[in-house]
Amino acid sequence: MAKKKLAVFTATGCSACENSVLDVHFQISPVTPWADIAFWPYVTGSQWQDLDHVDRIDLCMFAGAVRTAADRKAALKLREKTRIMLAVGACSAFGGMPGLVNLAAVRDEGNSAGADEGIDPALPGTESRVSALSQIVDVDYVVPGCPPPKNLLWSAIQALLCPGECTSRISYAASRLPERISQCITSGILPPKGGTFAGEKAVCASCSRVKEEKKFRSAFRPYAIDPDPGRCLLEQGVLCQGIATREGCGGLCTAAGAPCRGCFGKAEAVYDPGAKMVSAVTSTFDSANADEIEAMSNEFVDLAGTLYRYTMAAQCALPVGPAKDENDAGDVL
């Protein structure tokens, strides 16, 4: 049986997603008999030309958002060669933090191109708005997180890359995965297309903090309170987005004393993460008086930048940002 071919690439994001893939790859070596790295610029120094010598990539792990013309070109080129496209991390899946650029009022055309003709090299242009991978090309699966936790990355690799006989397949528990995906992993068939390697419910379902149906009269910015370590943060007046967010991290941030900011994207049943949070937050207001409610509401600042911290580009129902313009498909030098 021919070895599967793996590609890993980051567009605009950071190196943490790739470092996580690197860690998984090296920590769990049973994969190596089954797969070859065909394209991984960061670690093996692959060049774009190398792709021309590969007929087909079986799995492409694409991290980072699409910000520049070069990112777009990379996405298109990899998609063309790839059988299974996996969006890795919040940037690639929903635009991630770079997607907040779309919120910034002024469009920064900065120094895209415009170099000294013929003497200095040009630059790949910046697109008018930041996009998630799925807004550019067809994406088959998603593993969310910023960066994705290792167990989820690993279960994605297992499900998508290793054939049934790989010894690692059943060795790694993926207990918070949706049943269908974990069944697929153990039985060695591909999960249904479009699947997400994470839970289905909300982070609250696996958060270790206790919810007591308590309400609060005044909200706290996270710097202004040392919250009770055992109790739900939202019920203590701290904006925590667990209830709107897909579970899978096991309540990583809330366990570390920090509120959830939604790096797994919206939970399955949520229409829009911001709207969901509006309803969750206000239901904990302890008041029926319009003025008091208004005052409490005003204690929450930067709603758009917080509630869509990782999802502005792809999951906000009323996406902001400049319209796409024709140059977006522009060519790279």
Partner 1 sequence: MNRFEPRIIAFLCNWCSYVAADAAGVARLTQLPNVRVIRVNCSGMVDPSYVMKAFADGADGVLIGGCHPGDCHYISGNIKTLRRSFLLKSLLRELGVEDGRFRLEWIAASEGPRYAKVVNEMVEEIRSLGPYVPPQRRSAKGAA
Partner 2 sequence: MMQATFFEPLRWREHPARVAVYNGGEELKVYYQVTAPRDLGAICKGRPVEELPRILTLLGPAHHIASAVTLDRLFNVEPPPPAVNMRQALLQTLVFSHHLRKLFFFLTSLEDPLADRHSAVRTLGPPRFLRHVFDEVMQCLSLAQEAAVILGGRAEHPLTAAAGGVSRYVKPQSYNRLAEIGDTCVIFAVKFAEFCGGTLLNASEAGEALNEVSPGPMSSMSMSDDADAAIVVSDRTGKEIDRFTPADVFDKVELFHEPWSYEPFACLKGKGRNVLAAADGDGLYFVGPLARLNRGLEPSTPKAEEERGRFIESLGPPPHFSLAAAYRALLVELIQSAEQMTVLYDQEKLTGPAVRTIPQAIGQQAGAAIESPQGLIVHRYRVDERGMVQELDILDTAAQNNALHCRIARRAVELSKYGNRTREETKKNIEASLLPF
Query: Binding residues for partner 1, per CB under 8 A?
Result: 102, 105, 107, 128-129, 270-272, 274-276, 278-279, 281-283, 285, 287-288, 290, 293-294, 297-298, 300, 302-305, 307, 316-326
Tokens of 14: 């950071």
Q: Where are the alpha helices (DSSP H) in the chain?
A: 16-27, 41-44, 48-52, 69-81, 89-94, 150-161, 179-187, 252-255, 273-282, 290-298, 303-307, 312-315
Instruction: Tell the smallest beta-carbon distance from residue 151 to partner 1 (Å).
Output: 31
Beta strands 141-143; 82-88: pairing state:
parallel
Q: Are 86 and 24 in contact (CB under 8 A)?
A: no
Instruction: Tell the smallest beta-carbon distance from residue 226 to partner 2 (Å).
Output: 5
Tokens of 94: 């929903």
Nearer to partner 2, 220 or 268 (CB): 220
Using the rule CB under 8 A, give the single segment among 26-34, 134-142, 183-191, 281-289 that binds partner 2.
26-34
- Choose the one of partner 1, partner 2, ligand SF4, none that binds residue 316, judging by a C-beta under 5 to 8 angstroms depending on kind: partner 1
The phi-psi region of residue 30 (left if phi > 0; otherwise alpha if psi is between -120 and 50; otherwise beta) is alpha
Using CB under 8 A as the binding rule, whether residue 43 contacts partner 2 is answered as yes
Contact residues: ligand SF4, CB under 6 A? 13-14, 16-17, 63-64, 89-91, 96-97, 146-147, 203-204, 207, 209, 211, 232-234, 240, 242-243, 245, 249, 251-254, 260-264
Q: Which of 302, 317, 318, 326 binds partner 2 (CB under 8 A)?
A: 302
Residue that is written with structure tokens 């933090």 in the block: 97
Q: Are 61 and 19 in contact (CB under 8 A)?
A: no
Please say whether the dihedral angle defined by the alpha carbons of residues 15, 21, 22 and 24, taken in this order, is positive or negative: positive
Q: Nearest 5°: phi and psi at 113?
A: 55, -155
Q: What is the radius of gyration, based on Cα positions, of the chain?
A: 21
Decide: residue 284, CB within 10 A, 0-12 exposed, 13-18 middle, 19+ buried.
middle
Specify the 3-state DSSP secondary structure of 333. Answer: coil
Nearer to partner 2, 147 or 191 (CB): 147
Nearer to ligand SF4, 164 or 257 (CB): 257
Using CB under 8 A as the binding rule, whether residue 82 contacts partner 2 is answered as no
- Choose the one of ligand SF4, partner 2, partner 1, none that binds residue 303, judging by a C-beta under 5 to 8 angstroms depending on kind: partner 1
Using CB under 8 A as the binding rule, whether residue 216 contacts partner 2 is answered as no
Instruction: Tell the smallest beta-carbon distance from residue 70 to ligand SF4 (Å).
Output: 16
Contacts with partner 2 by CB under 8 A lie at: 11-16, 19-20, 23, 26-27, 29, 37, 41-48, 67-68, 70-71, 97-98, 100-101, 103-104, 108, 110-111, 114-116, 118, 120-124, 126, 146-147, 221-226, 229, 252-253, 255-258, 261, 301-302, 305-306, 309, 333
